[in-house]
Amino acid sequence: AQKITQTQPGMFVQEKEAVTLDCTYDTSDQSYGLFWYKQPSSGEMIFLIYQGSYDEQNATEGRYSLNFQKARKSANLVISASQLGDSAMYFCAMREGQNNAGNMLTFGGGTRLMVKP
């Protein structure tokens, strides 16, 4: 079974509108972390936001917020006031356990976001 699922391969959003990118995860660990990364066409991976499994409040970082619904095992990324520079691939990733082997990340398949002017 997929550990991280991003069901939207591609999405369009109008500039200045908000957009939600979906991410669901599967784990039996009680302690885990969820990350969102942005990958522009140039290839680098840019860290956006982190949510720990024990964090009671949804994480926010500037225009990015994470809609964390633990019971539903979802960690959707919300981008407010979209900008043209937000056009990129977005990956959801999970780190299982507090100190798992190397603390590796498992990535979802990604969502390509395209912002329309």
Partner 1 sequence: GAVVSQHPSRVICKSGTSVKIECRSLDFQATTMFWYRQFPKQSLMLMATSNEGSKATYEQGVEKDKFLINHASLTLSTLTVTSAHPEDSSFYICSARKGGATQPQHFGDGTRLSIL
| Nearest distance in Å: CB 49, partner 1 | 9
| Nearest distance in Å: CB 16, partner 1 | 28
Q: Is 90 in the site for partner 1 (CB under 8 A)?
A: no
Amino acid type, 17: E
Site residues (CB under 8 A) for partner 1, limited to 7-46? 33, 35, 37, 42-46
Strand partners, 116: 14
Q: Return d(Cα 38, Cα 64) in angstroms, integer.
A: 11
DSSP annotation of 59: P
Choice from 88, 91, 94, 115 touching partner 1 (CB under 8 A): 91
Q: Which residues contact 44 (CB under 8 A, 6 or more apart)?
A: none
Between 51 and 82, whose beta carbon lies closer to partner 1? 51
* Closest residue by Cα to residue 45 from 115, 116, 105: 105
> Which residues lie near partner 1 (CB under 8 A)?
33, 35, 37, 42-47, 50, 52, 91, 95, 98-99, 101-110
